[in-house]
Amino acid sequence: MTARSPRHVPCAGVPRLQEAQRPRVVVTSPQVCVETDGADGARLRFDFDIYQAVRVRSIDLYMPRGPEFVPYTVVEVEHSRWIEELRADLAQVDATADFLDRSHHWTLHAGDDVVEVVAWTMTWAPIDSPAAR
């Protein structure tokens, strides 16, 4: 069976992210929370529930693939190679575990950082607007 190529699919309704800022990442099992600014300056909060993995990289170390990648967005990575790597690791620990079947791989390109999370769900909401600050 041939592996399918990963695809970056923009998350519907999620605003573009600001180019010049750093996200705040808080891991409190079983949740990862990422706060960052939208392109309009509004503070946004992304909650990833029942997470399996999280990583943060400098944009210099992130190699987006495919023509659909759009900078400063939140995307779901379909056919994720990272999830496949995690499946292989899990199989060595517990060959019967299937919780990764419910997992998704999301990527937030926020300023100079790329935050990646593998989790069951992602929700987001504005925290405040620039006018409220």
Q: Which residue has the tokens 């607007």?
A: 129
Which pTM does this prediction carry?
A: 0.89
pLDDT, position 18: 92
Q: What is the pLDDT of residue 132?
A: 53
- Per the DSSP assignment, residues forming a β-bridge with 57 are 114
Q: Which of 19, 28, 21 minimizes the C-alpha distance to 51?
A: 28
Beta bridge partners, 78, equal: 7
Locate 127 and state its tokens: 């925290």
Token couple for 17? 């992210």
Measuring CA to CA, which residue among 22, 21, 89 is closest to residue 56?
Answer: 22
The ranges assigned to domains in the chain are: 7-120
Mean pLDDT across the chain, nearest whole number?
89
- The percentage of residues in the chain with a pLDDT greater than 70, rounded to a whole number, is 89
| Confidence at 129, pLDDT banded by 50, 70, 90 | low
pLDDT score of 64: 66
CB of 14 closer than 8 Å to CB of 72: no
Mean pLDDT of 95-102: 93
Mention every residue, 6+ apart, whose C-beta is less than 8 A from residue 16.
38, 39, 72, 73
Taking residues 120-129, what's their average pLDDT? 91
Average pLDDT for residues 74-94, to the nearest whole number?
Answer: 94
